[in-house]
Amino acid sequence: MDATKGESMSEGAEVVPGRWGPDRPIGIAVLGMGNVGREVVRILRDHADDLQSRVGAPLTLRGVAVRSLDRDRGVPAELLTTDAEALVARPDVDLVVEVIGGIDPARKLILAALNAGKSVVTANKALLADYTGELAAAAERSRADLYFEAAVAGAIPVVRPLIQSLSGDRVNRVVGIVNGTTNFILSAMDETGADYGDTLAEATRLGYAEADPTADVEGYDAAAKAAILASLAFHTRVTAANVYRQGIAAITSEDLETASALDCTVKLLAICERVPAGPGGPTPEEGGKERVSVRVYPALIPRKHPLAAVTGAFNAVVVEAENAGRLMFYGQGAGGAPTASAVLGDLVMAARNKFFGGRAPGESVYAELPIAPIGDTPTRYHVNLKVEDRPGVLAKVAGEFSHHGVSISTVRQEGHDDKARLVVVTHLAAEAALAETVAALSDMESVTSVTSVLRLEGTEE
Protein backbone atom coordinates (compact mmCIF):
# COMPACT_ATOMS: atom_id res chain seq x y z
CA MET A 1 0.00 0.00 0.00
CA ASP A 2 1.13 3.51 -0.85
CA ALA A 3 1.82 5.95 1.97
CA THR A 4 0.85 8.84 -0.28
CA LYS A 5 -2.75 7.62 -0.11
CA GLY A 6 -2.71 8.66 3.50
CA GLU A 7 -0.79 11.83 2.76
CA SER A 8 -3.33 12.97 0.20
CA MET A 9 -6.03 12.99 2.89
CA SER A 10 -4.36 15.78 4.80
CA GLU A 11 -3.48 18.52 2.39
CA GLY A 12 -0.13 20.09 3.00
CA ALA A 13 0.57 17.94 6.05
CA GLU A 14 4.10 16.68 6.38
CA VAL A 15 4.78 13.03 6.96
CA VAL A 16 7.13 12.57 9.91
CA PRO A 17 10.04 11.27 7.88
CA GLY A 18 11.08 7.69 8.09
CA ARG A 19 9.32 6.52 11.24
CA TRP A 20 6.11 4.98 9.88
CA GLY A 21 5.08 3.98 6.39
CA PRO A 22 3.58 1.15 4.37
CA ASP A 23 6.28 -1.22 5.61
CA ARG A 24 6.66 0.38 9.03
CA PRO A 25 3.42 -0.14 10.93
CA ILE A 26 2.02 1.86 13.79
CA GLY A 27 1.94 -0.56 16.74
CA ILE A 28 -1.21 -0.89 18.82
CA ALA A 29 -1.65 -2.37 22.29
CA VAL A 30 -5.16 -3.18 23.48
CA LEU A 31 -5.65 -3.33 27.25
CA GLY A 32 -8.71 -5.40 28.09
CA MET A 33 -10.57 -8.04 26.09
CA GLY A 34 -14.18 -7.60 27.20
CA ASN A 35 -17.04 -6.80 24.81
CA VAL A 36 -15.37 -3.64 23.54
CA GLY A 37 -11.79 -4.96 23.38
CA ARG A 38 -12.93 -7.98 21.36
CA GLU A 39 -14.67 -5.75 18.82
CA VAL A 40 -11.70 -3.38 18.58
CA VAL A 41 -9.47 -6.34 17.73
CA ARG A 42 -12.02 -7.62 15.19
CA ILE A 43 -12.31 -4.25 13.42
CA LEU A 44 -8.53 -3.82 13.35
CA ARG A 45 -8.33 -7.21 11.62
CA ASP A 46 -11.39 -6.98 9.32
CA HIS A 47 -10.76 -3.44 8.10
CA ALA A 48 -6.97 -3.48 8.07
CA ASP A 49 -6.66 -2.30 4.46
CA ASP A 50 -9.12 0.58 4.79
CA LEU A 51 -7.55 1.67 8.05
CA GLN A 52 -4.10 1.64 6.45
CA SER A 53 -5.38 3.80 3.58
CA ARG A 54 -6.92 6.27 6.01
CA VAL A 55 -3.81 6.52 8.17
CA GLY A 56 -0.96 6.05 5.69
CA ALA A 57 0.64 3.15 7.57
CA PRO A 58 -0.71 -0.21 8.73
CA LEU A 59 -2.20 -0.39 12.22
CA THR A 60 -0.65 -3.53 13.64
CA LEU A 61 -1.85 -5.19 16.81
CA ARG A 62 1.23 -5.89 18.96
CA GLY A 63 -0.59 -7.44 21.87
CA VAL A 64 -3.71 -7.65 24.01
CA ALA A 65 -3.50 -7.50 27.80
CA VAL A 66 -5.96 -9.83 29.53
CA ARG A 67 -6.52 -10.87 33.12
CA SER A 68 -5.98 -14.57 32.50
CA LEU A 69 -4.82 -16.76 29.64
CA ASP A 70 -7.15 -19.65 30.35
CA ARG A 71 -9.76 -18.82 27.70
CA ASP A 72 -9.78 -18.95 23.93
CA ARG A 73 -10.31 -15.36 22.90
CA GLY A 74 -10.16 -15.80 19.15
CA VAL A 75 -6.80 -14.08 18.75
CA PRO A 76 -3.44 -15.79 18.26
CA ALA A 77 -2.10 -16.92 21.64
CA GLU A 78 1.21 -15.11 21.08
CA LEU A 79 -0.65 -11.76 21.12
CA LEU A 80 -2.11 -12.34 24.57
CA THR A 81 -0.34 -11.31 27.75
CA THR A 82 -1.21 -10.81 31.38
CA ASP A 83 1.61 -8.27 31.73
CA ALA A 84 -0.11 -5.05 30.66
CA GLU A 85 2.76 -2.89 31.94
CA ALA A 86 5.33 -4.68 29.79
CA LEU A 87 3.03 -4.49 26.76
CA VAL A 88 2.62 -0.73 27.16
CA ALA A 89 6.41 -0.35 27.50
CA ARG A 90 7.28 -2.29 24.34
CA PRO A 91 9.24 -0.09 21.94
CA ASP A 92 7.11 -1.24 18.99
CA VAL A 93 3.88 -0.05 20.68
CA ASP A 94 2.98 3.48 19.57
CA LEU A 95 -0.68 3.71 20.57
CA VAL A 96 -2.51 2.24 23.54
CA VAL A 97 -6.24 1.43 23.67
CA GLU A 98 -7.52 1.17 27.25
CA VAL A 99 -10.82 -0.69 27.58
CA ILE A 100 -10.34 -2.24 31.01
CA GLY A 101 -12.52 0.31 32.83
CA GLY A 102 -12.33 1.40 36.48
CA ILE A 103 -9.63 3.51 38.08
CA ASP A 104 -6.72 1.16 38.74
CA PRO A 105 -4.79 -0.33 37.01
CA ALA A 106 -6.21 1.68 34.05
CA ARG A 107 -4.94 5.00 35.40
CA LYS A 108 -1.41 3.73 36.04
CA LEU A 109 -1.20 2.11 32.61
CA ILE A 110 -2.51 5.18 30.79
CA LEU A 111 -0.06 7.41 32.64
CA ALA A 112 2.80 5.05 31.78
CA ALA A 113 1.81 5.17 28.11
CA LEU A 114 1.42 8.96 28.03
CA ASN A 115 4.67 9.52 29.94
CA ALA A 116 6.42 7.44 27.28
CA GLY A 117 4.93 9.64 24.53
CA LYS A 118 2.43 7.00 23.41
CA SER A 119 -1.03 8.28 22.55
CA VAL A 120 -3.97 6.76 24.37
CA VAL A 121 -7.55 6.03 23.33
CA THR A 122 -9.81 5.20 26.25
CA ALA A 123 -13.48 4.45 26.87
CA ASN A 124 -13.06 4.92 30.63
CA LYS A 125 -15.67 7.44 31.85
CA ALA A 126 -15.09 6.80 35.57
CA LEU A 127 -11.40 7.59 35.19
CA LEU A 128 -11.93 10.62 32.97
CA ALA A 129 -14.61 12.06 35.24
CA ASP A 130 -12.08 12.36 38.07
CA TYR A 131 -8.59 12.31 36.53
CA THR A 132 -8.74 14.14 33.20
CA GLY A 133 -6.52 16.89 34.59
CA GLU A 134 -3.74 14.49 35.54
CA LEU A 135 -3.99 12.51 32.31
CA ALA A 136 -4.18 15.60 30.12
CA ALA A 137 -1.11 17.10 31.85
CA ALA A 138 0.86 13.91 31.19
CA ALA A 139 -0.23 13.97 27.53
CA GLU A 140 0.78 17.62 27.26
CA ARG A 141 4.25 17.02 28.76
CA SER A 142 5.12 14.27 26.32
CA ARG A 143 3.16 15.72 23.38
CA ALA A 144 1.02 12.59 23.14
CA ASP A 145 -2.73 12.48 22.47
CA LEU A 146 -5.54 11.48 24.79
CA TYR A 147 -8.79 10.60 22.99
CA PHE A 148 -12.01 9.47 24.70
CA GLU A 149 -15.00 9.62 22.36
CA ALA A 150 -16.17 6.19 23.56
CA ALA A 151 -16.36 7.31 27.20
CA VAL A 152 -19.67 9.12 26.67
CA ALA A 153 -22.67 7.59 24.92
CA GLY A 154 -20.86 4.76 23.13
CA ALA A 155 -21.03 5.10 19.36
CA ILE A 156 -22.57 8.57 19.40
CA PRO A 157 -20.13 11.28 18.34
CA VAL A 158 -20.61 13.92 21.00
CA VAL A 159 -17.14 14.40 22.52
CA ARG A 160 -15.54 15.48 19.24
CA PRO A 161 -18.41 17.82 18.31
CA LEU A 162 -18.07 19.53 21.68
CA ILE A 163 -14.27 19.77 21.53
CA GLN A 164 -13.89 20.57 17.85
CA SER A 165 -17.02 21.30 15.81
CA LEU A 166 -18.41 23.71 18.40
CA SER A 167 -15.09 25.21 19.47
CA GLY A 168 -16.10 28.52 17.87
CA ASP A 169 -19.49 28.65 19.53
CA ARG A 170 -20.76 29.07 23.07
CA VAL A 171 -22.56 26.03 24.47
CA ASN A 172 -25.27 26.95 26.96
CA ARG A 173 -26.84 23.61 27.76
CA VAL A 174 -26.33 19.89 27.26
CA VAL A 175 -29.17 17.53 28.18
CA GLY A 176 -28.94 13.84 27.56
CA ILE A 177 -30.08 10.33 28.14
CA VAL A 178 -26.64 8.82 28.59
CA ASN A 179 -27.40 5.53 30.29
CA GLY A 180 -28.97 2.76 28.25
CA THR A 181 -29.78 0.43 31.15
CA THR A 182 -31.96 2.95 32.96
CA ASN A 183 -33.55 4.10 29.71
CA PHE A 184 -34.43 0.51 28.89
CA ILE A 185 -36.02 0.08 32.34
CA LEU A 186 -37.96 3.36 32.30
CA SER A 187 -39.16 2.79 28.71
CA ALA A 188 -40.36 -0.72 29.58
CA MET A 189 -42.13 0.53 32.72
CA ASP A 190 -43.81 3.19 30.58
CA GLU A 191 -44.87 0.72 27.90
CA THR A 192 -45.99 -2.20 30.08
CA GLY A 193 -47.08 -0.62 33.36
CA ALA A 194 -44.83 -3.11 35.19
CA ASP A 195 -43.12 -2.04 38.40
CA TYR A 196 -39.44 -1.25 38.85
CA GLY A 197 -38.37 -4.56 40.44
CA ASP A 198 -39.91 -6.77 37.74
CA THR A 199 -38.57 -4.56 34.97
CA LEU A 200 -35.05 -4.56 36.40
CA ALA A 201 -35.20 -8.38 36.66
CA GLU A 202 -36.26 -8.57 33.01
CA ALA A 203 -33.48 -6.14 31.99
CA THR A 204 -30.96 -8.36 33.80
CA ARG A 205 -32.34 -11.51 32.16
CA LEU A 206 -32.04 -9.90 28.71
CA GLY A 207 -28.48 -8.71 29.42
CA TYR A 208 -29.30 -4.97 29.46
CA ALA A 209 -28.58 -4.65 33.18
CA GLU A 210 -25.45 -5.97 34.84
CA ALA A 211 -25.60 -8.52 37.67
CA ASP A 212 -24.77 -5.59 39.99
CA PRO A 213 -26.78 -2.74 38.45
CA THR A 214 -25.82 -0.12 41.07
CA ALA A 215 -23.64 2.08 38.85
CA ASP A 216 -26.41 2.36 36.29
CA VAL A 217 -29.60 2.53 38.36
CA GLU A 218 -28.16 4.83 41.01
CA GLY A 219 -26.98 7.27 38.34
CA TYR A 220 -23.18 6.98 38.92
CA ASP A 221 -22.52 6.03 35.29
CA ALA A 222 -24.62 8.95 34.01
CA ALA A 223 -22.99 11.32 36.52
CA ALA A 224 -19.49 10.45 35.27
CA LYS A 225 -20.62 11.10 31.70
CA ALA A 226 -22.31 14.36 32.75
CA ALA A 227 -19.06 15.51 34.38
CA ILE A 228 -17.16 14.87 31.13
CA LEU A 229 -19.80 16.60 28.98
CA ALA A 230 -19.95 19.63 31.28
CA SER A 231 -16.15 19.96 31.35
CA LEU A 232 -16.05 20.01 27.56
CA ALA A 233 -19.10 22.23 27.07
CA PHE A 234 -18.09 24.90 29.57
CA HIS A 235 -14.26 24.74 29.45
CA THR A 236 -14.28 24.09 33.19
CA ARG A 237 -13.02 21.10 35.13
CA VAL A 238 -16.08 19.27 36.48
CA THR A 239 -15.64 16.02 38.41
CA ALA A 240 -18.19 13.37 39.38
CA ALA A 241 -18.31 14.84 42.91
CA ASN A 242 -19.62 18.11 41.41
CA VAL A 243 -22.64 16.35 39.92
CA TYR A 244 -25.91 16.23 41.88
CA ARG A 245 -27.09 12.65 41.45
CA GLN A 246 -30.29 10.73 42.02
CA GLY A 247 -31.05 7.28 40.57
CA ILE A 248 -34.21 5.56 39.38
CA ALA A 249 -34.65 2.85 42.06
CA ALA A 250 -37.50 4.75 43.75
CA ILE A 251 -39.54 5.22 40.55
CA THR A 252 -42.85 3.37 40.69
CA SER A 253 -45.41 2.28 38.12
CA GLU A 254 -47.67 4.92 39.70
CA ASP A 255 -45.13 7.64 38.79
CA LEU A 256 -45.25 6.53 35.16
CA GLU A 257 -49.04 6.44 35.32
CA THR A 258 -49.39 9.96 36.73
CA ALA A 259 -46.74 11.19 34.27
CA SER A 260 -48.77 9.68 31.44
CA ALA A 261 -51.88 11.49 32.62
CA LEU A 262 -49.92 14.73 32.08
CA ASP A 263 -48.83 13.51 28.63
CA CYS A 264 -45.31 13.04 30.00
CA THR A 265 -42.89 10.17 30.47
CA VAL A 266 -40.04 9.72 32.95
CA LYS A 267 -36.38 9.73 31.83
CA LEU A 268 -33.08 9.70 33.70
CA LEU A 269 -31.61 12.96 32.47
CA ALA A 270 -28.07 14.32 32.62
CA ILE A 271 -28.35 18.10 32.59
CA CYS A 272 -25.39 20.45 32.24
CA GLU A 273 -26.13 24.15 31.98
CA ARG A 274 -24.90 27.63 32.62
CA VAL A 275 -26.74 29.40 35.44
CA PRO A 276 -26.45 33.01 36.60
CA ALA A 277 -23.87 34.17 39.17
CA GLY A 278 -24.75 33.16 42.74
CA PRO A 279 -27.33 35.03 44.82
CA GLY A 280 -25.68 37.49 47.17
CA GLY A 281 -22.38 37.25 45.27
CA PRO A 282 -20.91 39.86 42.95
CA THR A 283 -23.06 40.67 39.92
CA PRO A 284 -21.69 39.95 36.43
CA GLU A 285 -21.00 43.70 36.11
CA GLU A 286 -18.90 43.46 39.27
CA GLY A 287 -16.96 40.53 37.88
CA GLY A 288 -19.22 37.78 39.29
CA LYS A 289 -19.04 34.69 37.15
CA GLU A 290 -21.90 32.73 35.80
CA ARG A 291 -21.84 29.18 37.14
CA VAL A 292 -22.27 25.63 35.95
CA SER A 293 -25.02 23.32 37.15
CA VAL A 294 -24.55 19.61 36.51
CA ARG A 295 -27.17 17.15 37.66
CA VAL A 296 -28.52 13.67 37.02
CA TYR A 297 -32.01 12.69 38.10
CA PRO A 298 -35.18 11.06 36.87
CA ALA A 299 -37.58 13.70 35.60
CA LEU A 300 -40.90 13.99 33.82
CA ILE A 301 -40.57 15.29 30.27
CA PRO A 302 -43.43 15.98 27.87
CA ARG A 303 -44.02 13.22 25.33
CA LYS A 304 -43.47 15.76 22.55
CA HIS A 305 -39.95 16.54 23.83
CA PRO A 306 -37.31 15.05 21.45
CA LEU A 307 -35.77 13.01 24.29
CA ALA A 308 -39.13 11.34 25.04
CA ALA A 309 -38.86 9.48 21.73
CA VAL A 310 -35.56 7.92 22.82
CA THR A 311 -36.65 4.50 24.04
CA GLY A 312 -35.09 1.15 24.88
CA ALA A 313 -31.35 1.12 25.50
CA PHE A 314 -30.69 4.04 23.14
CA ASN A 315 -28.93 7.25 24.19
CA ALA A 316 -29.34 10.80 22.93
CA VAL A 317 -27.72 14.11 23.73
CA VAL A 318 -29.18 17.52 22.95
CA VAL A 319 -26.69 20.38 22.79
CA GLU A 320 -27.86 24.00 22.75
CA ALA A 321 -25.31 26.50 21.51
CA GLU A 322 -25.62 30.23 21.04
CA ASN A 323 -25.09 30.21 17.29
CA ALA A 324 -25.60 26.60 16.22
CA GLY A 325 -28.94 26.42 18.01
CA ARG A 326 -30.23 23.04 19.10
CA LEU A 327 -28.37 19.91 17.96
CA MET A 328 -29.38 16.37 18.74
CA PHE A 329 -27.13 13.31 18.69
CA TYR A 330 -28.82 9.90 18.86
CA GLY A 331 -27.72 6.28 18.71
CA GLN A 332 -26.38 3.28 20.54
CA GLY A 333 -24.76 4.30 23.80
CA ALA A 334 -23.31 0.95 24.75
CA GLY A 335 -22.42 -2.48 23.40
CA GLY A 336 -19.22 -3.94 22.02
CA ALA A 337 -19.37 -2.98 18.33
CA PRO A 338 -20.91 0.51 18.76
CA THR A 339 -18.39 1.47 21.45
CA ALA A 340 -15.56 -0.03 19.40
CA SER A 341 -16.64 2.16 16.47
CA ALA A 342 -15.94 5.24 18.59
CA VAL A 343 -12.62 3.76 19.76
CA LEU A 344 -11.55 3.09 16.17
CA GLY A 345 -12.47 6.65 15.13
CA ASP A 346 -10.14 7.94 17.84
CA LEU A 347 -7.49 5.41 16.95
CA VAL A 348 -7.42 6.56 13.33
CA MET A 349 -7.12 10.19 14.52
CA ALA A 350 -4.29 9.34 16.92
CA ALA A 351 -2.51 7.26 14.28
CA ARG A 352 -2.82 10.01 11.68
CA ASN A 353 -1.41 12.47 14.18
CA LYS A 354 1.60 10.18 14.63
CA PHE A 355 1.99 9.75 10.88
CA PHE A 356 1.61 13.41 9.95
CA GLY A 357 3.05 14.91 13.12
CA GLY A 358 -0.21 16.52 14.38
CA ARG A 359 -1.69 16.78 17.86
CA ALA A 360 -5.14 16.28 19.35
CA PRO A 361 -6.61 19.34 21.08
CA GLY A 362 -5.52 19.38 24.73
CA GLU A 363 -7.73 19.93 27.77
CA SER A 364 -9.49 23.32 27.79
CA VAL A 365 -10.44 24.54 31.26
CA TYR A 366 -9.66 28.23 30.88
CA ALA A 367 -13.16 29.41 31.93
CA GLU A 368 -12.91 27.93 35.46
CA LEU A 369 -16.58 28.54 36.17
CA PRO A 370 -17.78 27.85 39.71
CA ILE A 371 -20.17 24.95 40.29
CA ALA A 372 -23.68 25.96 41.37
CA PRO A 373 -25.15 23.94 44.25
CA ILE A 374 -28.37 22.09 43.41
CA GLY A 375 -30.29 24.37 45.78
CA ASP A 376 -29.56 27.33 43.48
CA THR A 377 -31.13 25.70 40.43
CA PRO A 378 -34.90 26.09 40.54
CA THR A 379 -36.95 23.43 38.75
CA ARG A 380 -40.60 22.53 38.37
CA TYR A 381 -41.86 19.69 40.55
CA HIS A 382 -44.47 16.96 40.26
CA VAL A 383 -45.71 16.01 43.73
CA ASN A 384 -47.89 12.96 44.21
CA LEU A 385 -49.93 12.77 47.45
CA LYS A 386 -52.48 10.44 49.01
CA VAL A 387 -54.97 12.44 51.04
CA GLU A 388 -58.27 12.10 52.90
CA ASP A 389 -61.11 13.08 50.57
CA ARG A 390 -62.98 15.57 52.79
CA PRO A 391 -63.86 19.26 52.70
CA GLY A 392 -60.96 21.68 53.13
CA VAL A 393 -58.10 19.22 52.45
CA LEU A 394 -57.23 20.63 49.02
CA ALA A 395 -57.25 24.16 50.44
CA LYS A 396 -54.88 23.11 53.26
CA VAL A 397 -52.52 21.36 50.85
CA ALA A 398 -52.51 24.42 48.56
CA GLY A 399 -51.93 26.57 51.64
CA GLU A 400 -48.67 24.74 52.48
CA PHE A 401 -47.33 25.33 48.97
CA SER A 402 -48.28 28.98 49.24
CA HIS A 403 -46.83 29.31 52.75
CA HIS A 404 -43.40 28.19 51.46
CA GLY A 405 -43.53 30.44 48.41
CA VAL A 406 -44.03 27.58 45.94
CA SER A 407 -46.42 28.50 43.16
CA ILE A 408 -48.80 25.77 41.92
CA SER A 409 -49.29 25.37 38.18
CA THR A 410 -51.85 22.53 38.05
CA VAL A 411 -53.63 20.17 40.45
CA ARG A 412 -55.34 16.94 39.51
CA GLN A 413 -57.41 14.84 41.86
CA GLU A 414 -58.64 11.27 41.54
CA GLY A 415 -60.93 9.82 44.19
CA HIS A 416 -60.69 6.32 45.65
CA ASP A 417 -63.50 5.86 48.24
CA ASP A 418 -62.71 8.30 51.05
CA LYS A 419 -59.11 8.65 49.82
CA ALA A 420 -57.88 10.73 46.93
CA ARG A 421 -54.72 11.01 44.91
CA LEU A 422 -53.58 14.57 44.38
CA VAL A 423 -51.01 15.38 41.74
CA VAL A 424 -49.60 18.87 42.09
CA VAL A 425 -47.34 20.40 39.45
CA THR A 426 -45.48 23.55 40.48
CA HIS A 427 -43.97 26.46 38.68
CA LEU A 428 -40.21 26.91 39.10
CA ALA A 429 -39.34 26.41 42.77
CA ALA A 430 -36.15 26.29 44.81
CA GLU A 431 -35.21 22.83 46.11
CA ALA A 432 -35.16 24.03 49.74
CA ALA A 433 -38.64 25.57 49.53
CA LEU A 434 -40.02 22.42 47.94
CA ALA A 435 -38.35 20.22 50.59
CA GLU A 436 -39.90 22.34 53.37
CA THR A 437 -43.29 22.10 51.68
CA VAL A 438 -43.02 18.33 51.43
CA ALA A 439 -41.97 18.05 55.09
CA ALA A 440 -44.96 20.13 56.15
CA LEU A 441 -47.34 18.12 53.92
CA SER A 442 -46.04 14.86 55.39
CA ASP A 443 -46.91 16.15 58.88
CA MET A 444 -50.49 17.03 57.93
CA GLU A 445 -53.11 14.78 59.46
CA SER A 446 -55.21 14.71 56.28
CA VAL A 447 -52.21 13.70 54.12
CA THR A 448 -51.77 9.91 54.21
CA SER A 449 -48.47 10.03 52.32
CA VAL A 450 -46.37 12.04 49.93
CA THR A 451 -45.84 9.16 47.53
CA SER A 452 -43.33 10.80 45.22
CA VAL A 453 -41.59 14.01 44.32
CA LEU A 454 -40.13 14.23 40.83
CA ARG A 455 -38.78 17.09 38.81
CA LEU A 456 -40.38 18.20 35.57
CA GLU A 457 -38.08 19.29 32.75
CA GLY A 458 -38.45 20.42 29.18
CA THR A 459 -41.55 22.55 29.60
CA GLU A 460 -42.12 26.25 29.51
CA GLU A 461 -42.85 27.64 32.94
Give the interface with ligand HSE as residue ranges (CB under 6 A): 179-181, 216, 221, 333-334
Report the residue number, 221 or 273, with the smaller CB distance to ligand HSE. 221
Tell me how far apart the alpha carbons of residues 457 and 386 are, in angstroms, rounded to a whole number: 23
Q: Please enumerate in sequence order all residues whose Cβ is within 8 A of that of 417, keeping only pairs 6 or more positions apart, or say none.
A: 389
Long-range contacts of 424-427 (CB under 8 A, 24+ apart): 424/381, 424/382, 424/383, 424/385, 424/397, 425/262, 425/380, 425/381, 425/382, 425/383, 425/456, 426/380, 426/381, 426/383, 426/401, 427/380, 427/461
Report the residue number, 239 or 353, with the smaller CB distance to ligand HSE. 239
Ligand-binding site membership of 396 (annotated): no
CB of 181 to ligand HSE, least distance (A): 3
Amino acid letter, residue 368: E
Report the residue number, 221 or 255, with the smaller CB distance to ligand HSE. 221
Assess whether the previous peptide bond of 105 is cis (omega < 30° from 0). yes
CB of 216 to ligand HSE, least distance (A): 5
Report the residue number, 339 or 377, with the smaller CB distance to ligand HSE. 339
Active-site residues, by number, are 225
Residue 244's Cβ-side half-sphere holds a number of Cα atoms within 13 Å equal to 18
Amino acid letter, residue 126: A
Ligand-binding site membership of 210 (annotated): yes
Report the residue number, 190 or 400, with the smaller CB distance to ligand HSE. 190
Quick one: which of 299, 275, 35, 321 has its CA closest to 177?
A: 299
Report the residue number, 56 or 333, with the smaller CB distance to ligand HSE. 333
CB of 222 to ligand HSE, least distance (A): 8
CB of 221 to ligand HSE, least distance (A): 5
| Phi/psi at 139 (5° precision) | -65, -40
Rg (CA), the chain: 25
DSSP 25-55: PEEEEEE--SHHHHHHHHHHHHTHHHHHHHH
Quick one: which of 394, 407, 399 has its CA closest to 434?
A: 407
CB of 180 to ligand HSE, least distance (A): 3
CB of 199 to ligand HSE, least distance (A): 14
Tell me how far apart the alpha carbons of residues 216 and 237 are, in angstroms, rounded to a whole number: 23
First to last CA, the chain: 61
Indicate the helix (H) or strand (E) that contains 336.
helix 336-356
Binding residues: 125, 210
Binding residues for L-homoserine: 210
